[in-house]
Structure 1
Amino acid sequence: MRSYSKLKHYILSAFREIFIYHHNSLFFRAKLFALLIVVDDEEYADYYINLRSAALKIYEDPDRAELLVLTTKELVQKVKKSNELNADKLIESIVQELKDIPRYAKKIDKEILTSLLEVTHNEEVKVYQERIVEFLDNLKTEIYAKYNLSD
Structure 2
Amino acid sequence: MRAFSKLKHHIFNAFREIFIYNHNSLLFRAKLFALLVGVDNEEHDNDYYINLRSTAIKIYNDEDRADLLVLTTKEIVRKIRKSNEFNIDKLIESVVQELKEIPRYAKKIDKESLSSLLEVADDEETKIYQNRIIEFLDNLKAETYAKHNLTD
User: TM-score scaled by structure 2?
Assistant: 0.98
Unaligned runs of 5+ in 2: none
Q: Give the superposition deviation at 1:41.
A: 1.6
Runs (4+) off by over 4 Å: none
User: Secondary structure of 2:61's match?
Assistant: coil
Quote the RMSD (CA, aligned, Å): 0.6
Distance in 1, Cα, partners of 2:95 & 2:146: 18
Q: Give the superposition deviation at 1:42.
A: 4.2
**Is 1:90 paired with 2:57?**
no
Counterpart residue number, 2:16: 16
Aligned residues: 151
Distance in 1, Cα, partners of 2:78 & 2:128: 23
Give the % identical residues: 75
Counterpart residue number, 1:100: 101
Distance in 2, Cα, partners of 1:78 & 1:84: 9
User: TM-score scaled by structure 1?
Assistant: 0.99
Counterpart residue number, 1:70: 71
What code does the residue aligned with 1:60 have?
N
Distance in 2, Cα, partners of 1:18 & 1:55: 21
